[in-house]
Structures are given as structure tokens and as C-alpha cells.
Amino acid sequence: MILQICRWALWLDEWLQDRLGRPYNLLLGIGLVVEMVEQAGRLPQRLESAPNLIRSVLILSVEFALLLHQVGALSHHIERRRRKPATPAPEAPET
């Protein structure tokens, strides 16, 4: 069951990447940055409790790793588009 959910998630991610491309990566990256800023803003309140602080640090670490992944995916997408040869315009038939 978990493997099937992973396959569906991969399919959906690839489908969104194919359909939306860079905007998809930007949206995910912006969402992660917003969440990280929100988590960092809560840190002072969580300094009072070690388990809450550890949890927040772990969440921020995972979100940072996801952000790095998204930036890498965006970079890969941009490079792939740059390397893609421009398709020549079709020539008009001679009469």
C-alpha cells in the first residue's frame, strides 16, 4: 500500500512538473520558505521546552532539505530547457 502511494505521488509530481514546470517548482519553494519563516518565528516560544525545541529544529532541518531539493529541481529544469534545441520554424511550401 505504501509503495503504491509513493508511485501515485511520483506520478502526480512528474505530471505537475510536465504541465507547470518552473512555476510548480517556484510555488513549492515559496511554500517551503513561508513555512520555514513561520517555524523560525515560533522558536522563541519553544525555547522553554526541550522536546518542542528539538521538534522545531528537526522540522526546520527537513524543510531546509526539501528547499534544497526544490532549488536543485528548478536548476535542473532551467538547464534542461536551455539545452533543448530550438525547433526551426516550418518552411513555407514552394509554389
pLDDT tens, position by position, 36-77: 888 888 877 777 777 877 888 888 888 888 888 888 877 777
Residue 13 inside a domain? The answer is no
Residue 2 inside a domain? The answer is no
Q: Is the pTM of this model over 0.85?
A: no
**Quick one: which of 35, 21, 24, 23 has its CA closest to 64?**
35
Residue 12 inside a domain? The answer is no
Per the structure, how many domains does the chain have? 1
First to last CA, the chain: 62
Domain that holds residue 46: 21-82
